[in-house]
């Protein structure tokens, strides 16, 4: 997909499985299982789709997947599967080497979004993209270093420490236009300081909403993850952004949907509905 000066490609970095009840919060299984069937462990399959954006002499990534630093027990718990997709192979398919990546925009520092930004070389963790500037929001970085008991397991030291000491981490103070027409928007419901991407040119707008709406099944407003720290904030953020997406016909890219890459939405008789499912 091309929007203005940006060539945008969607890359798969792997699959994993999370508890369906946790993924849909207060919504009963009798409802969510109609659109997201679970396995024998009550888990649903999740993708880890990231963006590769080519702009002038820049090669920009948005998020990095979970990476390969998990112990065997954690891999089993999350059902991590790299048999079909992994980060470096996906980059190679687009003729991009890790050293060529110039920018990595991290929506937030949960392991399934930031883990691929670091790797173990020898016996120590280091940056996967050694020449890239990595961007994270100030409010989120501060939270990631001192999380609550509820979300502590999502922030792994081996993911954060290499970034902190790399000299390649840029802390952003809030919403901003990082590059021309490349705007970072904030969401605070899932975790403080989550940044989402909006690229707009002419009549086309792409919205990479990260965990504000992880899958197409989360389109109904009350379908909010149990992982969210502030679900009522998520509710109002979804209402605001999805209303705008309807009015302006945005392409909404779904980071964690294993079946659907992106959707356009519209107002139905009773609720917001999917107008078009898209492959990128």
SS3 track for 26-49: CCCHHHHCCCCCCCCCCEEEEEEE
The structural domain count of the chain equals 1
- Asked whether the predicted pLDDT for residue 123 surpasses 90, the reply is no
- Asked whether the predicted pLDDT for residue 248 surpasses 90, the reply is yes
Which two three-digit tokens encode residue 235?
């509710």
The CA distances from residue 39 to 19, 43, 44, 59, 225, in Å, are: 9, 5, 7, 37, 18
- Asked whether the predicted pLDDT for residue 257 surpasses 90, the reply is yes
Determine phi and psi for 139, rounding to 5 degrees: -65, -35
Which two three-digit tokens encode residue 87?
């980060």
Q: Once rounded to an integer, what is the mean pLDDT over residues 177-203?
A: 96
Q: Once rounded to an integer, what is the mean pLDDT over residues 158-172?
A: 96
3-state helix, strand, coil in the chain (%, to 5): 30, 35, 40
Q: Once rounded to an integer, what is the mean pLDDT over residues 60-77?
A: 94
* Cα 276 from Cα 259, distance rounded (Å): 13
Burial class (CB in 10 A: 0-12, 13-18, 19+), 51: buried
DSSP state of 180: T
**6-19 and 43-55 strand pairing:** antiparallel
* Cα 14 from Cα 17, distance rounded (Å): 11
Q: Once rounded to an integer, what is the mean pLDDT over residues 134-160?
A: 97
Q: What confidence tens digit (pLDDT) does each residue in 214-244 have?
A: 999 999 999 999 999 999 999 999 999 999 9
Coil, strand, or helix at residue 99? Answer: helix
- Asked whether the predicted pLDDT for residue 122 surpasses 90, the reply is no
Instruction: Look at residue 214 in the predicted model and tell me its pLDDT.
Output: 98
Where do we find the tokens 């403080």? Answer: 192
* Cα 1 from Cα 90, distance rounded (Å): 17
- Asked whether the predicted pLDDT for residue 7 surpasses 90, the reply is yes
* Cα 116 from Cα 112, distance rounded (Å): 8
Count other Cβ atoms within 10 Å, centred on residue 3. Answer: 19
Q: Judge contact between 14 and 258, C-beta under 8 A.
A: no
Count other Cβ atoms within 10 Å, centred on residue 105. Answer: 26
CATH number where 166 lies: 3.60.15.10
* Cα 80 from Cα 45, distance rounded (Å): 10
State the average pLDDT for the chain.
Answer: 97
Q: Provide the whole-model pTM.
A: 0.96
Determine phi and psi for 230, rounding to 5 degrees: -130, 80
Residue 81 domain boundaries: 2-278
- Asked whether the predicted pLDDT for residue 107 surpasses 90, the reply is yes
């Amino acid at each position: 997909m091309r929007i203005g000066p940006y060539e945008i490609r969607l890359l798969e970095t792997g699959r994993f499985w999370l508890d369906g009840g946790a993924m849909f919060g207060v919504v009963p299984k009798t409802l969510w299982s109609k659109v997201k069937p679970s396995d024998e462990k009550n888990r649903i399959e999740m993708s880890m789709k990231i963006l590769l954006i080519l702009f002038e002499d820049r090669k920009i990534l948005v998020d990095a997947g979970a990476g390969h630093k998990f112990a065997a027990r954690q891999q089993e718990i999350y059902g991590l599967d790299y048999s079909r997709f992994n980060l470096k192979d996906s980059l190679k398919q687009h003729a991009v080497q890790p050293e060529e990546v110039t920018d990595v925009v991290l929506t937030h520092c949960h392991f399934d979004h930031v883990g691929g930004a670091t790797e173990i070389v020898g016996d120590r963790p280091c940056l996967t993209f050694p020449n890239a500037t990595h961007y994270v929001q100030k409010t989120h970085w501060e939270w990631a270093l001192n999380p609550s008991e509820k979300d502590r397991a999502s922030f792994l030291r081996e993911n954060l420490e290499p970034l902190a000491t790399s000299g390649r981490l840029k802390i952003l103070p809030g919403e901003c236009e990082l590059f021309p027409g490349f705007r970072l928007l904030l969401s605070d419901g899932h975790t403080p300081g989550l940044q989402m991407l909006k690229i707009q040119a002419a009549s086309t707008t792409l919205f990479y909403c990260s965990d504000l709406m992880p899958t197409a099944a989360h389109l109904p407003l009350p379908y909010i993850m149990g992982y969210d720290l502030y679900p009522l904030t998520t509710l109002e953020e979804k209402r605001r952004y999805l209303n705008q997406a309807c009015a302006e016909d945005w392409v909404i890219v779904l980071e964690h949907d294993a079946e659907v890459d992106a959707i356009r939405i519209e107002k139905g008789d009773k609720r917001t509905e999917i107008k078009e499912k898209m492959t990128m």
